[in-house]
């Protein structure tokens, strides 16, 4: 079987690798902080402020619908940013995505409500949410590849887990920001308090930009450009030559349905259906995210030892059955049982898939189309998961408050995740040739000819 070289031609110094890993982590944490504060605000307050003509349940549905718009935008952002990431460089795409995300988030914090400007308020909210999704669509692929392509060959799983750790870190920052507002009355929170986390994003973005501008471009990408130039249409080339890998990555990405039910929908479910306080749900999410911050690199490192597919499939198998005990624990209304359910769900079940995922998806594609191929699979699969709070809320309403339909819905999509991992090739020992390895027969794709008219040297 042929293979892919994901080790850079010159890995550089250990100090530079650490700087790249730290930069990928911090930048990703900031972008996901921006993305998550909308989800938490949608569960807590945006429905009544921007969709007030509806009853509370329908208002929350509308806010979650706007939340889902961000996920519809993610594949488009993934295509655009990955196009430039595969042609111009990973670093430039990352800087641009962070700027766009920060601007959109800050403007949401400034946006007048429905009471002030009428129907223009929800329209602008949806447009800014679209910009958030567009930006984060380009973030993941660039951050992951900067880490993976700078790493040593036998540490790609661990290296790829650093930007993945930015997700729970962003969730901790987002939850912590809202927890810090707990002393405010409901009226103060609804009037101006919820805006503070959005406005604070501007300071975080400045920090992220300083860090990202100081890291080196991927040495593997630079080596490829010197030898072969760049493809004119990397996304199209990835779809033509690696369609199976894109589809498998999208299937495996259905773990995100479990994730958004755990971190977004359950906040609304716990406060609206179970009757616990907002603080209980936010505290539980924060505790679980803190533990997940530790377990993601653990599972990434385990995938370096035992294989990406083995660890990923194990997590997917548990994810199929986990929704049943999860909702049983949440329905007790006991805070410590809710915390336990969230910790198991995020830090063990989901992290066992998310930890190896960055290296796994990256190893499915060659350097020339890796940003485009990995981003396409990841972001196309994310659309379904992004719809999960909206779908879950609809199912709860249809079932008169019962979580049974939600449980079956989440379990079914985790079965899709398991099947995707089952049909994907094992990749963690791939080590030679910088192009996609083999043929469609071995599941990784074909080499694009060096003299192909699809290639550009600009």
Is 5 inside any structural domain?
no
Q: What pTM does this model have? A: 0.78
Is 449 inside any structural domain?
no
Q: What is the pLDDT of residue 146?
A: 79
Contacts of residue 178, Cβ cutoff 8 Å, sequence gap at least 6 = 37, 40, 41, 44, 194, 197, 282
Q: What is the pLDDT of residue 449?
A: 43
Instruction: State the average pLDDT over residues 75-90.
Output: 76
> Mind listing the pLDDT tens digit for each residue in 352-390?
999 999 999 988 887 677 778 888 888 888 888 878 888
The answer on pLDDT for 310 being more than 60 is yes
**Which residue carries 């650093």 as its tokens?**
162
Where is mean pLDDT largest: 274-283, 346-355, 379-388? 346-355
The answer on pLDDT for 322 being more than 80 is yes
Q: What is the pLDDT of residue 457?
A: 40
Q: What is the pLDDT of residue 401?
A: 84
Q: What is the pLDDT of residue 458?
A: 38
Q: What is the pLDDT of residue 89?
A: 67
Q: Indicate which CATH number applies to the domain containing 249.
A: 1.20.1250.20
Q: What is the pLDDT of residue 436?
A: 45
Q: What is the pLDDT of residue 263?
A: 83
Is 450 inside any structural domain?
no
Q: What is the pLDDT of residue 43?
A: 72
> Mind listing the pLDDT tens digit for each residue in 385-419?
878 888 998 899 888 888 999 999 999 999 999 99
Helices 195-213 and 156-179, axial angle in degrees (round to 10):
150
Contacts of the segment 345-349: beta carbons below 8 A, 24+ positions apart = 345/258, 345/262, 345/288, 346/168, 346/259, 346/262, 346/263, 346/288, 346/289, 346/291, 346/292, 347/288, 347/291, 347/292, 347/294, 347/295, 348/295, 348/318, 349/258, 349/315, 349/318, 349/319, 349/322
The answer on pLDDT for 7 being more than 60 is no
Q: What is the pLDDT of residue 300?
A: 94
Residue 106 has which token pair?
């800050």
Do 369 and 240 form a contact (C-beta atoms < 8 A)?
Answer: no
Distance CA 62, CA 166 (A): 28
Where is mean pLDDT largest: 84-98, 190-204, 280-294, 333-347? 333-347
The 3-state DSSP class for residue 231 equals strand
Residue 93 has which token pair?
């795409």
Is 314 inside any structural domain?
yes
Who has greater pLDDT, 5 or 37?
37
The 3-state DSSP class for residue 318 equals helix
Do 355 and 156 form a contact (C-beta atoms < 8 A)?
Answer: no
Distance CA 293, CA 346 (A): 10
The answer on pLDDT for 76 being more than 70 is yes
* Residue 455: its H or E element: strand 455-456
State the total domains in the chain. Answer: 1
Q: Which of 100-109, 263-272, 403-412 has the lowest mean pLDDT?
A: 263-272
Bin 227: left if φ > 0, else alpha if -120 < ψ < 50, else beta.
alpha
* Residue 249: its H or E element: helix 243-252
Domain carrying residue 247: 14-443
Distance CA 406, CA 409 (A): 5
Is 124 inside any structural domain?
yes
The 3-state DSSP class for residue 232 equals coil
Among 304, 409, 322, CA closest to 360: 304
> Mind listing the pLDDT tens digit for each residue in 140-197?
777 887 788 777 778 888 988 988 998 889 888 888 888 888 888 888 888 899 999 9
Who has greater pLDDT, 31 or 441?
31
Is 247 inside any structural domain?
yes
* Residue 229: its H or E element: none
Instruction: State the average pLDDT over residues 219-246.
Output: 70
Is 457 inside any structural domain?
no
Who has greater pLDDT, 65 or 230?
65
* In the chain, % of residues over pLDDT 70: 83
Distance CA 304, CA 135 (A): 30
Q: What is the pLDDT of residue 440?
A: 37
């Amino acid at each position: 079987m042929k293979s892919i070289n994901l080790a850079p031609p010159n890995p550089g110094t250990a100090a530079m690798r650490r700087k790249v890993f730290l930069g990928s982590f911090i930048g990703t944490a900031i972008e996901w902080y921006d993305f998550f504060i909308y989800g938490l605000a949608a569960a807590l307050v945006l429905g009544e402020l921007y969709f007030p003509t509806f009853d509370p349940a329908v208002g929350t549905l509308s806010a979650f619908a706007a939340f889902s718009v961000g996920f519809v935008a993610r594949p488009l952002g993934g295509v655009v940013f990955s196009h430039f990431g595969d042609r111009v460089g990973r670093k430039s795409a990352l800087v641009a995505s962070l700027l766009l995300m920060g601007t959109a988030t800050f403007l949401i914090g400034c946006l007048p409500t429905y009471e002030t400007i009428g129907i223009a308020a929800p329209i602008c909210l949806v447009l800014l949410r679209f910009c958030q999704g567009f930006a984060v669509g380009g973030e993941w692929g660039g951050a992951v590849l900067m880490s993976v392509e700078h790493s040593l060959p036998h540490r790609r799983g661990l290296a790829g887990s650093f930007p993945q750790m930015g997700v729970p870190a962003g969730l901790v920052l987002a939850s912590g920001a809202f927890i810090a507002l707990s002393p405010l009355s409901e009226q103060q929170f609804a009037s101006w308090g919820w805006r503070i986390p959005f406005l604070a994003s501007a300071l975080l973005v400045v920090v992220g930009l300083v860090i990202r501008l100081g890291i080196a471009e991927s040495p593997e990408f630079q080596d490829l450009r010197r030898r072969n130039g760049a493809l004119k249409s990397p996304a199209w080339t990835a779809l033509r030559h690696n369609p199976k890998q894109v589809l498998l990555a999208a299937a495996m990405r259905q773990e995100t349905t479990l994730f958004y039910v755990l971190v977004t929908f359950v906040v609304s479910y716990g406060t609206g259906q179970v009757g616990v306080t907002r603080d209980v749900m936010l505290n539980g999410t924060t505790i679980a995210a803190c533990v997940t911050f530790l377990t993601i690199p653990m599972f990434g490192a385990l995938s370096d030892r035992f294989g990406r597919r083995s660890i990923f499939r194990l997590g997917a198998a548990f994810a199929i059955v986990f929704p049943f005990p999860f909702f049983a624990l949440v329905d007790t209304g006991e805070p410590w049982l809710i915390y336990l359910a969230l910790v198991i769900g995020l830090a063990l079940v989901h992290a066992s898939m998310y930890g190896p995922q960055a290296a796994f998806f990256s190893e499915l594609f060659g350097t020339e189309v890796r940003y485009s191929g990995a981003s396409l699979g990841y972001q196309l699969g994310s659309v379904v998961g992004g719809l999960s709070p909206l779908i879950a809320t609809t199912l709860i309403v249809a079932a008169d408050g019962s979580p049974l339909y939600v449980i079956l819905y989440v379990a079914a999509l985790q079965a899709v995740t398991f099947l995707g991992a089952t049909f994907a090739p094992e990749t963690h020992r791939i080590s030679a040739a910088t192009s996609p390895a083999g043929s469609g027969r071995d599941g990784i794709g074909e080499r694009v000819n060096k003299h192909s008219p699809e290639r550009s040297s600009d």
